[in-house]
Amino acid sequence: MQPMSTDKQNNFNFETLLEASVKTHGHLCPGQVLGVRMSMLGLRKIGIDDPKGKDRKSLIVFVEMDRCATDAVQSVTGCSLGHRTMKFVDYGKMAAAYLNLKTNSAVRVIAREDSRDRAKNYFPDIEDKYKAQLEAYKIMSDEELFDVMDVTIEIRPEDLPGKPLKRVKCDKCGEHVQDMRDLTVDGKIYCKACNEGAYYKVSKQ
């Protein structure tokens, strides 16, 4: 049993996309296979045929995990944090949402937890469960691998690609904040680090 190598609705070749993703990520793993197939499915559902070409300004992707699959999503879609077309939502879930800005069509694709157990049935002779998953994920159906939900996603103007809409100076630390991430408290402007607490601590100099 072999998967179709080409998604006829997207003109995407699975093997080619997986190979490119592995080059980006550095190694082949189950997460790479899931990320590639997740993106192929998500793009098809929202009508994106050429994410790196004619549709590149029409696509925003939200990833919910900072794991291997995220590199695959970026590789397939061409979306990235630097281009502001990829948004990281730290949910710790193997899921991603795909939004077509032109049509406002959006879907959220979630990897099914039971696909791990199903993978064993495809290759019972492979003792290494990760190798079994890797090979099974290549040939399992989309329905076995993923749940798909139609969703509505509203993008704020300050979250869209393009030049910053606003750039201000924090009244406490003096650092500048852009993209409207500043907070106004009692008439003063603060960055989130100063108002909510930072992820870092300044070492003594």
Whose tokens are 């937890």? That residue is 113
CA dist 137 and 37 (Å) reads 9
pLDDT in tens, 4-59: 444 544 568 999 999 999 999 999 999 999 999 999 999 999 999 999 999 999 99
Helix, strand, coil tally for the chain in percent (to 5): 35, 20, 45
| Class of the domain covering 6-158 | alpha beta
Whose tokens are 């991430």? That residue is 181
Residue 1, SS3 per DSSP? coil
Question: What ranges do the domains of the chain cover?
Answer: 6-158, 163-196
- Report the candidate in 35, 1, 4, 41 with the shortest Cα–Cα distance to residue 20: 35
pLDDT in tens, 94-133: 999 999 999 999 999 999 999 988 888 898 888 888 898 9
Whose tokens are 């989130």? That residue is 192
CATH of region 163-196: 3.30.60
pLDDT at residue 158 tops 80:
yes
Q: What pLDDT does residue 48 have?
A: 96
Model pTM score = 0.90
**Residue 54 per-residue DSSP state:** T
Q: What pLDDT does residue 5 have?
A: 44
